[in-house]
């Protein structure tokens, strides 16, 4: 009798553990909700461009500010100063005459548009162009993107994204063998943009 009871209790415990594991599964809708939650995220970035023809990566540094409602400011500080604005309407670069639109067909423009979708958690937009595979949990997750269309396959082999409360790393593997690694450091969540950020995203 006692062995039978023990077996039943063991089976119940295993069933409860399985149900808890299923309930705690971190999925794409939860990731989208988590990343789109903060009104503003800002921080520093380090970008490494690994080219097959060069022994050392090309490294750049800067700051970023992501607004849930307005878009992304990508402010390159080193080795040169150059500001970019990425919104659903397109990509612009700051010049002496104000913000100038960037060619939306260029490879770098396509890459920047992906940044906005990734950082804002727009998984529905990403799913139109990529097959998504999510693993991990809310505090430490990994999202792998594999291109669906022939056009994107000519640009990217795959994209690997990691994060927790916010995105912490993006790695783009290009079809021709080059690789770009972007690390987002010291990300801080805020309720609103600064006055200058508001002007830059509103112009």
For the stretch 10-69, pLDDT in tens is 444 444 444 444 445 899 999 999 999 999 999 999 999 999 999 999 999 999 999 998
- Strand pairing category for 130-137 and 98-101: unpaired
Domains in the chain: boundaries:
23-202
Neighbours of 152 (CB within 10 A): 17
Pairwise pLDDT comparison (17 vs 79), residue with the higher score? 79
Tens of pLDDT, residues 95-108 = 988 899 887 665 55
Q: Which residues contact 12 (CB under 8 A, 6 or more apart)?
A: none
Q: Report the pLDDT value the prediction gives residue 122, as an integer from 0 to 100.
A: 87
23-202, which class in CATH?
mainly beta
Nearest residue to 163 via CA among 183, 193, 189, 190:
183
Looking at mean pLDDT, say which of 8-12, 114-118, 157-161 comes out highest.
157-161
């Amino acid at each position: 009798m006692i062995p039978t009871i023990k077996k039943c209790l063991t089976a119940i415990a295993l069933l409860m553990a399985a149900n808890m594991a299923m309930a705690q599964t971190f999925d794409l809708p939860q990731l989208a909700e988590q990343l789109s939650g903060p009104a503003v995220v800002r921080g520093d970035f380090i970008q490494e461009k690994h080219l097959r023809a060069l022994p050392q990566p090309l490294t750049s540094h800067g700051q970023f500010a992501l607004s849930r409602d307005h878009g992304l400011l990508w402010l390159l500080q080193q080795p040169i100063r150059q500001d970019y604005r990425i919104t659903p309407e397109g990509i612009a670069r700051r010049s002496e005459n104000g913000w100038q639109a960037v060619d939306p067909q260029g490879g770098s423009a396509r890459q920047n548009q992906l940044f906005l979708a990734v950082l804002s958690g727009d998984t529905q937009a990403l799913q139109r162009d990529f097959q998504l595979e999510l693993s991990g949990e809310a505090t430490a997750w990994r999202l792998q993107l594999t291109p669906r269309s022939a056009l994107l396959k000519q640009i990217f082999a795959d994209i690997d994204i990691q994060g927790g409360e916010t995105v912490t790393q993006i790695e783009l593997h290009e079809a021709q063998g080059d690789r770009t690694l972007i690390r987002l450091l010291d990300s801080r969540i805020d309720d609103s943009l600064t006055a200058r950020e508001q002007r830059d995203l509103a112009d």
